[in-house]
Amino acid sequence: MALPRHQLFLFLVAMFVSFADSTVPEDPLRLFHQASPKDKNFIMQSTQHVLKLKSFGKLGLVSSSLKMVNVNDYGAHGDGKTDDTLAFKKAWKVACSSAGAVFVVPQKSYVLKPITFSGPCKSNIAVQISGTLEASDNPSDYSGDRTHWIMFHSVQKLSVNGGGTIDGNGNIWWQNSCKRNHKLPCKKAPTALTFYRCNYLTVEDLTIKNGQQMHVSFEESKNVIASGLTVTAPEDSPNTDGIHITNTQNIQILNTVIGTGDDCISIESGSTNVQATKITCGPGHGISIGSLGSGKSKDFVSGVTINGAKFSGTTNGVRIKTWQGGSGSASNIKFQNIEMDKVMNPIIIDQNYCDQATPCKKQKSAVEIRNVLYENIKGTSASDVGVQFECSEKFPCKGIVLQNVELEREDGEGAKASCNSVQLSYRGDVNPQCP
- What's the confidence (pLDDT) of residue 38? 36
94 vs 45, higher pLDDT: 94
Element (H, E) at 214: none
Question: b/e for 237-254, b at 16 or more Cβ within 10 A?
Answer: bbbbbbbbbbbbbbbbbb
Residue 229 — very low, low, confident or very high, per pLDDT cuts 50/70/90? very high
**Bridge partners, residue 347, by sequence:** 318, 387
In this prediction, what percent of the chain has a pLDDT beyond 90? 80
Nearest to 278 by CA among 235, 234, 226: 226
Q: From the candidates 148, 215, 244, 285, which is the catalytic residue?
A: 285
pLDDT of 176 strictly over 60: yes
Other residues' Cβ atoms within 10 Å of the Cβ of residue 12: 24
- What's the confidence (pLDDT) of residue 182? 87
- What's the confidence (pLDDT) of residue 61? 31
Domain at 105-356+363-431, CATH class: mainly beta
Count of positions (residues) in the chain? 435
pLDDT of 149 strictly over 60: yes
- What's the confidence (pLDDT) of residue 29? 32
Cβ-contact 387, 350 below 8 angstroms: no
- What's the confidence (pLDDT) of residue 431? 97
Other residues' Cβ atoms within 10 Å of the Cβ of residue 376: 16
- What's the confidence (pLDDT) of residue 356? 80
Residue 45 — very low, low, confident or very high, per pLDDT cuts 50/70/90? very low
Residue 66 — very low, low, confident or very high, per pLDDT cuts 50/70/90? confident
Of 43-52, 111-120, 335-344, the poorest mean pLDDT is in 43-52
**Average pLDDT taken over every residue of the chain:** 88
Nearest to 286 by CA among 255, 311, 320, 253: 311
Q: What angle do CA 232, 91, 18 make, to 5 degrees?
A: 75
363 vs 236, higher pLDDT: 236
- What's the confidence (pLDDT) of residue 208? 98
Of 13-17, 49-53, 363-367, which one has max mean pLDDT? Answer: 363-367
- What's the confidence (pLDDT) of residue 4? 52
Of 12-21, 23-32, 165-174, 295-304, the poorest mean pLDDT is in 23-32
What is the pLDDT averaged over residues 337-355?
96
The one-letter amino acid code at 361 reads K
What is the pLDDT averaged over residues 72-79?
98
What is the pLDDT averaged over residues 29-35?
33
Residue 397 — very low, low, confident or very high, per pLDDT cuts 50/70/90? very high
Q: What distance in Å separates the CA atoms of residue 262 and residue 218, rounded to the nearest whole number?
A: 17
pLDDT of 384 strictly over 70: yes
14 vs 120, higher pLDDT: 120
| Phi/psi of residue 141, nearest 5 degrees | -65, -15
Q: What distance in Å separates the CA atoms of residue 206 and residue 215, rounded to the nearest whole number?
A: 12
- What's the confidence (pLDDT) of residue 434? 92
- What's the confidence (pLDDT) of residue 48? 37
285 classed as catalytic: yes
Cβ-contact 347, 334 below 8 angstroms: no
